[in-house]
Structure 1
Amino acid sequence: MTELNDSIAVKDMISAASPVIKALVEIFVKPKLEGFRKKYPSVDLTKTYIPTEEHFQEYYHRTYKKLAVINTLVFNNSQRFLKEIYLPLTLSSTNDEKIKYQINYYPQKLCHEYGNILITDTAGMGKSTLMKRIFIDIVDQNIGIPIIIELRRLNKDKTIITEIQEQLNSINKDFDSELLLELLSEGGFIIILDGYDEISLTDREAVTSDLQDFIAKASNNEFFITSRPEKALLSFGNFQEFRINPLNKKEAFELLRKYDHQGSVSALLIKKLQEQEMSNIEEFLTNPLLVSLLFTAFEHKQAIPFKKYLFYRQVYDANFESHDLTKGDSYTHDKYSKLEIDDFHRVLRHLGFSCFKLQKIEFSKDEILKLITDSKEFCAGLNFNESDFLEDLLRTVPLFAQDGNYYRWAHKSLQEYFAAQFIYLDSKEKQNSILDKLYNHSNIEKFINVIDLYYDMDYKTFRNRIERSLLSEFKEFVENNYNHKYTDVLEESVIERKEISFFTNSFLFKATQKDKKHPFEAGKIGKMLKSFSKKNELDEGGFNGILVRPPLFEFIYAIHYQNSKTTLLSLLARKKSNYIKGANHSDIENKTMELHYVFEKEYYPEKINDDIKNPFNTKENFKNISEFLQATKLNSYIIDYGKGLTFLEKIEKSIANEEADDFLVGDM
């Protein structure tokens, strides 16, 4: 693997890329711009600042270098060629897991099949790295005209078309947005929109509306959107959604070897990971980011941390204590701020939480310096210069990166680690209020990584605030729903229905035709879903997630409105909570299921509820409906009725005992 300690290797790489960039502009960009100029012979396009062939060529040189040479948190922010450490990732359709594509190059078949691709997954699964790899291959293989946009740059005052123009021609700010949009709408572009989840919540509605309008007007192009799971993504209904498959052990070990030049550190680490007692950290090996953090942590201390937040702490320690090998192992960079390791960590905790509250990872220099000033004021007793602290973040403790006039966290999950540490160590009497606010937030899925990290830092408080609230809601639901005496329906079937209906409102509708490829994107089904979704998002309050799943009954589909809190069930399943179980999907696809009901109207959704008169609750239908609901739910985890209520009792008893215990305030 090439270490890029100087610019020679980078210059060689750019020199090698220059011919393919020139060819791409000649083959695709030049004819398009010439045709566009002929279309508007009376308009002087040079004075309206429409990007030229030279602008595209400069854009591809600049962007190719930016994407092909990456700064890695794993190696103390030193540079590596992306191609050398990239591990091919596999995408699976969320509608049909049998549809899989391994991505080592531009996925031409996938794009031609679906046109618009939405890639959603949790923190650290490699979404942005995947987009970089695709962009580079489009250029290398001369496939089309790629444009990549980091969506965190957009806000209510900055549209997608403005950002595209700035990327293509950053010098001239005055341009004709309508003409540029018309150029893009002619097609031939491959537009990558990376990091939807990084758009500020305050700007989300305006940016989403702008993106939808842009995609509709430029629909002749291929689009990629990447994001962590977000309910707002439901508005991009004409995108086919894919998830990134977890790494298997073989892939994780190969990634470790790539980090280490196939060397001794990775060999020793892999040997340790194959020992029996390491089986409890297998979850970490499925996530590319956590694999990289594991390597860094092990390289620093020759020890394997067993909790996710310890990975981040050891990565922080490794960066803070990093040695300059060119000056001997004993030389450690002095810190501009003169802060010690724990004091620096203390400031970062407040900074991380401040950025987390803003839901931003990228800032102007004035913005980030203001946040550092606020953190300095919070951390009484620490004296340092804000500019020196920022310099440390960029140079000696490189947890931030500079991109032109922007300063950003090296990875969003780093910000989330420090935010979780702040809640745990610094929030004091506000701690319970913060956790309650996270639990009850309508966008809880945006905070799930912080909640995940906090679970490992302070499980007792997590249990007393978040699990207690979750199970209390579950108890209230099961006590107030499906309590009728359903005719000849077994009690276990009723309990099963309670379990699968918690946090979910479900509807069934009947269609008259079945399109195996894109059943919900056009025609009567698509129109029905659009109007029905809009209506019920208002009616259902917090139930904002809509999901349509393929039928098990012929031509009958399910729509599920799922509360955002269902993301907690997946988290608790990963933590192996004994009251979380998987929905029963066993052999469901091979079953012959019959629904004894005639729908009053086609394309008219009818609600599943606990009404004893509801025909879905008859003896003939009750169990089949329950199995159908389980098989079609997006979140495949549910709370076990008996174990969930038992665990809630255990929590309540523990809290009562703690309140009665006078150990801390008794005689001394």
Structure 2
Amino acid sequence: MDQFQIDINKIATNLIEKNIEKVTKGIYDFSSAKRKDLLLKSKNAFDLYLSSAIDKYSSTKTILYRDQRVPLYKFYVDVNLRYQFETINTDNINNLLELSNNITIFGSGGMGKSTLLKHLFLNTILNTDLIPLFVELRDLNDAEITLIDCIYKSLSNLKFNLEKEYFVKALHNGCFVIFLDGFDEVNEEKRRKLTMEIDLMVDKYSENYYIVSSRPGDFLYRGWNKFIDLHVIPLDKQSALSLIEKMDYDNDIKEKFLLELNDNLYKKHQSFCSNPLLLNIMLLTYHEFAEIPDKVHIFYGRAFDALYSQHDATKAGFKRKLMTIENLAIDDFKRVLSAISALSYMEKTYSFDQDQLFYYINSAKQIVDIEFDSNRFKTDLIESVCILVIDGLKYKYQHRSFQEYFTARFISNLPDEEQTSLLLHIIEEEGESIKFDEVFNLLFEMANEKFERNLIIPALEKLKEIIKDSSLELSYLKYMETSFDEFFFDPALLVQEKLSKEAEAIAYSYKENKSGFIDFVQFIYNKYCDLLDIKLPKLETIIEPDNIDSLHEFGEDDEYSQSTRVPLNKVTCDEQLFNDFIGFSKFYLQRLEYSFLVLDQRKPEL
């Protein structure tokens, strides 16, 4: 145990001592003698939990520190968060808690959200009188349990031994900061239920603080009414330099890298250097590859090559031999790993128990038609190449970005018809992934023309057929109905976005069985707006409303959220309401028409 852990454990013990009367207030209705025993039992339960949690969250493995866990603060650099137009420093948890009891933290893959939450967990012990609880939401994927059950299980797994009924009662007393990490890692079909449970929990136990981390996604896209949204700000140059300086790495390589990072690398490759994960990969591959590629998929490919060929290179005189090297050359190893990644990705599995992992390895073996020892391959994934890490009784990717990279690699190598079928399935059945992860972005980079030919063209042609109707406006309605089931006035947006009028505060509710066509169309616009000489159609005949009178007339008021809602299947009941709906939807419709212009231009060239 290092000095930091010794010190923070002492502080944690004092924290529990200070809080135990408040934590247990009203939960024990017994005689004074028995209550004294239960107070001691409660104190010991929280002491054991915090001690175990500190041990778990104050050290970790990373892509650079692959062989053993290292103290978090050996490499951690504070990141800043954006709240509206303000910058929030995360060096002290109170900077966040002063803003709201309920916070969502958004950041794309590799921005260090989980590491940030671990820092905030530890910082809560150091700088507040509150007790932090850390929950990895992906545990909800393993069983049909409630959020409260998941929280209690997370504590119990770290030696918390107080009965559940007493813990639940303690939540009423408002002594906790509850960190809910990885909303985006919860299976899509469970997110709606989880959203409702979080909403109910912050109402029922409103004296606590709640901090949820996630990649941006549909269920969080417009935010939750009771939460404020914070966004991870990419690393600036000084923070990037500080991160590398803290790394325990070959000094000669690190010093050369720091010089280049300061002189030109940050300016030339800011999108890579401002992302902590990608910056780590840059250092990992710097010695072997003279230049930094412009494309992310080449970047990840080189990172794996470095892990494969240089594993344990940071240990002088030692290089572990891959156990499957007699059977699998590096290309075959990649093929197997790509199949494992694609299979698990399509099943929305981001961590595995041992049986699941062997299931995916053996299934991949059949797909690539190569014989090798599955147990040895599993050992190589964990101990040699370190693409997977052990987390309790689970195995998970070093970072989900690697699962997405190898999934894209697998899909890019499929025959044309199989690729088209699989990608259309993702759009129609798993559409949220277009916005949630990097698979489509990587595919667009890897094989642009093949991706256009096998997906963009057929998907847009299919969308044209799906929304075809007797009038353009009815086609537009059909398009919006592919993803949404209602539109509504959201008063929370007036405050959050500092909007000047009600007509600007219009939002849409996603259907439970939505397709991903609207996200796909936005993807096309994002990719081609700088590549092709096509202007975003103005659609001047569509008038954006300056009031929401028709919503008030035909919508239903939701007293709980103070919103006014209209189901999309009712917008044709009144001409003014229908025209207003089309006007409110102009943002989406402009991008739809833009995508059809892309289709007209690209199809003859392929």
Which TM bucket (shorter chain)?
A: 0.7 to 0.9
Task: Tell me if the contact between 2:313 and 2:319 (Cα under 8 Å) persists in the aligned partners.
Answer: no
Distance 2:246 2:74 in 1: 7
Does residue 351 in structure 1 map to residue 351 in structure 2? no
Which of 647, 652, 655 is 2:603 aligned to?
A: 652
Task: Tell me if the contact between 2:25 and 2:170 (Cα under 8 Å) persists in the aligned partners.
Answer: no
Taking structure 1 as reference, are residues 579 and 218 closer, same or farther at Cα in structure 2, changes over 3 Å only? farther
Task: Tell me if the contact between 2:443 and 2:451 (Cα under 8 Å) persists in the aligned partners.
Answer: yes
TM-score under structure 1 length normalisation: 0.73
Does residue 360 in structure 1 map to residue 333 in structure 2? no
Distance 1:500 1:263 in 2: 56
Residue 263 of structure 1 and its aligned partner are, at CA, apart by 5.2
User: Match of 1:302?
Assistant: 290
Which of 156, 162, 169 is 1:169 aligned to?
A: 156
Does residue 137 in structure 1 map to residue 85 in structure 2? no
User: Match of 2:140?
Assistant: 154
Distance 1:109 1:565 in 2: 39
Task: Tell me if the contact between 1:432 and 1:465 (Cα under 8 Å) persists in the aligned partners.
Answer: yes
Which of 451, 454, 472 is 1:462 aligned to?
A: 451
The one-letter amino acid of 1:228's match is R
Does residue 61 in structure 1 map to residue 43 in structure 2? no
Taking structure 1 as reference, are residues 599 and 454 closer, same or farther at Cα in structure 2, changes over 3 Å only? closer
In structure 2, the gaps of 5 or more residues are: 539-543, 558-563
Q: Secondary structure at the match of 1:370?
A: helix
User: Match of 1:124?
Assistant: 110
Distance 1:175 1:510 in 2: 41
Q: Secondary structure at the match of 1:87?
A: coil
Residue 376 of structure 1 and its aligned partner are, at CA, apart by 2.4
Task: Tell me if the contact between 2:45 and 2:161 (Cα under 8 Å) persists in the aligned partners.
Answer: no
User: Match of 1:405?
Assistant: 393
The one-letter amino acid of 1:461's match is K
Residue 63 of structure 1 and its aligned partner are, at CA, apart by 1.5
Q: Secondary structure at the match of 1:17?
A: helix
Task: Tell me if the contact between 1:119 and 1:224 (Cα under 8 Å) persists in the aligned partners.
Answer: yes
In structure 1, the gaps of 5 or more residues are: 1-9, 485-494, 519-548, 585-592, 656-668
User: Match of 1:101?
Assistant: 88
Alignment of 1:495-514 (within 5 A): none
User: Match of 1:31?
Assistant: 21
User: Match of 2:560?
Assistant: none
Distance 1:474 1:579 in 2: 23
The one-letter amino acid of 2:278's match is L
Residue 277 of structure 1 and its aligned partner are, at CA, apart by 9.8
Deviations 1:100-147 (A, max 9, x none): 3122221x2432332111122321122111111100101122431000
Task: Tell me if the contact between 2:503 and 2:545 (Cα under 8 Å) persists in the aligned partners.
Answer: no
Does residue 20 in structure 1 map to residue 11 in structure 2? yes
User: Match of 2:384?
Assistant: 396
Deviations 1:47-70 (A, max 9, x none): 999972222222222211222212
Distance 1:473 1:510 in 2: 33
User: Match of 1:232?
Assistant: 219
Which of 184, 191, 206 is 2:171 aligned to?
A: 184
Distance 2:548 2:52 in 1: 62
Percent identity of paired positions between Structure 1 and Structure 2: 23
The one-letter amino acid of 1:61's match is S
Distance 1:340 1:23 in 2: 55
The one-letter amino acid of 1:372's match is I
The one-letter amino acid of 2:85's match is K
The one-letter amino acid of 2:208's match is N
Q: Secondary structure at the match of 2:381?
A: helix
Task: Tell me if the contact between 2:52 and 2:158 (Cα under 8 Å) persists in the aligned partners.
Answer: no
Distance 1:192 1:309 in 2: 32
Residue 335 of structure 1 and its aligned partner are, at CA, apart by 1.6
Taking structure 1 as reference, are residues 326 and 577 closer, same or farther at Cα in structure 2, changes over 3 Å only? closer
Deviations 1:3-42 (A, max 9, x none): xxxxxxx4443223221121112122x2235535644449
User: Match of 1:538?
Assistant: none
Task: Tell me if the contact between 1:509 and 1:599 (Cα under 8 Å) persists in the aligned partners.
Answer: no
Residue 210 of structure 1 and its aligned partner are, at CA, apart by 4.4
User: Match of 1:523?
Assistant: none
Taking structure 1 as reference, are residues 45 and 451 closer, same or farther at Cα in structure 2, changes over 3 Å only? farther
Q: Secondary structure at the match of 2:178?
A: strand
Moved more, 227-236 or 388-397: 227-236
Residue 89 of structure 1 and its aligned partner are, at CA, apart by 2.1
Task: Tell me if the contact between 1:510 and 1:556 (Cα under 8 Å) persists in the aligned partners.
Answer: no
Task: Tell me if the contact between 1:581 and 1:640 (Cα under 8 Å) persists in the aligned partners.
Answer: no
Residue 306 of structure 1 and its aligned partner are, at CA, apart by 2.1
User: Match of 1:341?
Assistant: 330
- What's the C-alpha RMSD, in Å, of the aligned pairs? 4.4
Alignment of 1:513-592 (within 5 A): 517=495, 550-553=498-501, 557-560=505-508, 564-568=516-520, 569=522, 573=526, 576-578=530-532
Residue 243 of structure 1 and its aligned partner are, at CA, apart by 1.9
User: Match of 1:533?
Assistant: none
TM-score under structure 2 length normalisation: 0.80
The one-letter amino acid of 2:18's match is I
Residue 149 of structure 1 and its aligned partner are, at CA, apart by 0.4
